[in-house]
Amino acid sequence: MSNSCNKCARVISDKDRPNSFLCSECKTHFHSFCLNISDLEIKVIDRKVWKCPSCIIGVQPYISKGANGNPSNGDLMEKLLEIEAYHKNTEQQINASLNLCHIKLDENAQELVKISHRIDKNVENIQDVITKNIHLEREVGALKMQLDSVDQYNRRNTIEIHGIPCLKHEDVRDLILQVGNALGVTIERNCIDACHRLGLQKLHHPPPGIICKFLQRHLKEEMIHRRKVKRNLTTLDIGMTSGAPIYINESLTPFRRQLLAKARAFKKVENYKFLWTRNGNIYMRRNESASILELKSDDDLNAIRNSINVSE
């Protein structure tokens, strides 16, 4: 019996023998790789009844005849056994292929389970990140509010004056003293801690405002109060030839200025009657009989808007 592969004619070495096949019909040897048999198929194929492709194809239902022209019982039995063996071998190979498919399906199912577990873990991690991000956003928001409160507290003695045109070689401190004199507020030069224009001088209107920080809070409050009483304060009152109105406001942080601008637009749309600031805080009131609402953030403004929508 030859130990050479019937396909490639090379000798089947001892190393290749575990993965070689012997045809149960023609007794010839084959390398598994010459027949494209996978490692998994090697494990599931029953080698006792395995037949090479040539023997499987070569089985013919030929039946010899006896002397009287009829097939003998022995011949019939032999052919039946051959057919049975052929079908059995075919069935085993089909079963081997099915087993291979089942193994592959099991492997895929196991891999899907692993992937599902990884997805669940990733979803859990993402949810943790989202939760942490929400907490961080709240902490950042709280810190921003604290910083804004500190910034506004530092402005407690500060006012902003708008409407005064820029003059060549002007003394901003003198302009503030003139505004105070027009309102009947006595201000000494040494009562002003710091003052300057808000930004560079512009070629077009409106001119940049003036920010003034007093050493005493009562001067700031008195200037704002007197301006509310004298509603017609203009640049004529400080010796200028033009009559542009002069406005005096509390100095607000950038965040509160934005919130006040949003509240002013909201007041116009929703027909609110009152909007004002006091000590850096923003307040709204729909009419004389309505309650006073304090605005600390956009959430407060949204809450008022939502309450209006619900009532409608």
Per-residue pLDDT of the chain (312 residues; tens, 9 = 90+): 568 888 888 888 888 888 888 888 888 888 888 888 887 777 778 788 888 887 876 644 444 444 455 556 666 666 677 777 777 777 877 888 888 888 889 989 999 999 999 999 999 999 999 999 999 999 999 999 999 999 999 999 999 999 999 988 899 999 999 999 999 999 999 999 999 999 876 655 788 999 999 999 999 999 999 999 999 999 999 999 888 999 999 999 999 999 999 999 999 999 999 999 999 999 999 999 999 999 999 999 999 988 877 666
List the domains of the chain with CATH numbers. 157-250 (3.30.70.1820), 254-311 (no CATH)
User: What are residue 280's phi and psi, to 5 degrees?
Assistant: 85, -5
Predicted pLDDT at 155: 96
Predicted pLDDT at 53: 80
| pTM for the whole structure | 0.61
Pair 71, 64: CB distance under 8 Å = yes
Instruction: Kindly report the number of other CB atoms within 10 A of residue 33's CB atom.
Output: 15
Pair 104, 39: CB distance under 8 Å = no
